[in-house]
Amino acid sequence: MVTFPTMDQQHTEERLISLGSWQERLPALAREYKNKKPFPHIHLADFLEESVVRRVAAEFPKPTDTSWIQYKHYNENKLGKTNRAEFPPLIGRLIDELNSPEFVAWLSELTGIPDLMADPSLEGGGMHQTERGGFLNMHADFTHHHHHANWHRRCNLILYLNEGWKEEWKGAIELWDRDMKSCAVKVTPFLNHVVIFNTTEESYHGYPEPISPPEGVTRKSLALYYYTAETDVHFSPRSTNYQARPEDGRLRSSLIWLDKKLLAGYSKVKSKLGLSDDFASKVLGFFGGKKK
């Protein structure tokens, strides 16, 4: 099991998450989480103190400010960054607190999932950013960590950092029923709103419509994924399972399926060779640059 320094060891001068106030509400929040449909989840506003979240949002790098993983294929069009060492200072500290034993213990109580573990490598998570026209098709997440065969992915936490976001710009995360017949919940990615939800083979979510904010405005978030250690390793890990919506039509549905199968192949190679998305993105960017 991965261990982390305590919050006191990390940063004695200031804690960015006021966990005490959330701890007081934990029994009621846990009941709400368990009973939410279409799968266990919760939407929390004002997750951080306003002064803290505004400083965090102000630090968030623009698409041109740093290197990004290019998550760009038929089923998604967004940017990501997982290398904690390259994060801006305050964002890095917040990530550390969200991965701390104190916070993960709180998250275990909230979700009812014992012995949750954080992922210091931020596999698939970290900073996410979507430019105008970007999207993420409906999907259920990969079920096991690509580089730890016995780590079972159990829940997601997404913190939105979009001051002044308007609903008409789209980008709301959608939670769909297990049969992919209809959307049950939509959460607009407003500043300081958090969505936490179980990750299972049927927890379908995404923001499939291309976003339409003004040029230069992006959809920004921090994403953290939490795991449990499996004692029985006789299972079949599954890569991200993209799904078509009823309105997507035959051609689009076929392309969603084909891209999913190609991604599954990439995931197997990635796990076998110990590759990271960051490495793959840099290789593709290098060859892409040579063609120009």
Where do the structural domains in the chain lie, given as residue ranges?
Answer: 31-291
* pLDDT confidence of residue 153: 95
| Cα distance between residue 206 and residue 209, in whole Å | 9
* pLDDT confidence of residue 187: 98
* pLDDT confidence of residue 275: 62
Q: What is the pTM of this model?
A: 0.89
* pLDDT confidence of residue 255: 98
| Cα distance between residue 239 and residue 229, in whole Å | 18
E runs forming strands in the chain: 41-44, 69-73, 76-81, 126-130, 135-140, 151-160, 173-176, 183-187, 194-198, 205-207, 219-229, 241-242
Instruction: Report residue 285's pLDDT band, with 50, 70 and 90 as the boundaries.
Output: very low
The mean pLDDT value for 131-142 works out to 97
The mean pLDDT value for 76-101 works out to 97
| Cα distance between residue 109 and residue 116, in whole Å | 10
The CATH superfamily of 31-291 is q2cbj1_9rhob like domain (2.60.120.620)
Instruction: Report residue 8's pLDDT band, with 50, 70 and 90 as the boundaries.
Output: very low
Helix (H, G, I), strand (E, B) or coil at 16: coil
Instruction: Report residue 191's pLDDT band, with 50, 70 and 90 as the boundaries.
Output: very high
**Higher-pLDDT residue of 76, 269:** 76
Cα–Cα–Cα angle for 269, 274, 277, rounded to 5 degrees: 75
Q: What is the DSSP letter of 183?
A: E
Instruction: Report residue 169's pLDDT band, with 50, 70 and 90 as the boundaries.
Output: very high
Radius of gyration of the chain (CA): 18
The mean pLDDT value for 56-79 works out to 96
The mean pLDDT value for 214-242 works out to 89
Residue with tokens 């969603």: 256
| Cα distance between residue 42 and residue 59, in whole Å | 26
Separation of CA 252 from chain center: 25
The DSSP-derived string for 200-221 is -TT--EEE-SPP-PPTT--EEE
Cα–Cα–Cα angle for 69, 57, 198, rounded to 5 degrees: 65
Helix (H, G, I), strand (E, B) or coil at 25: coil
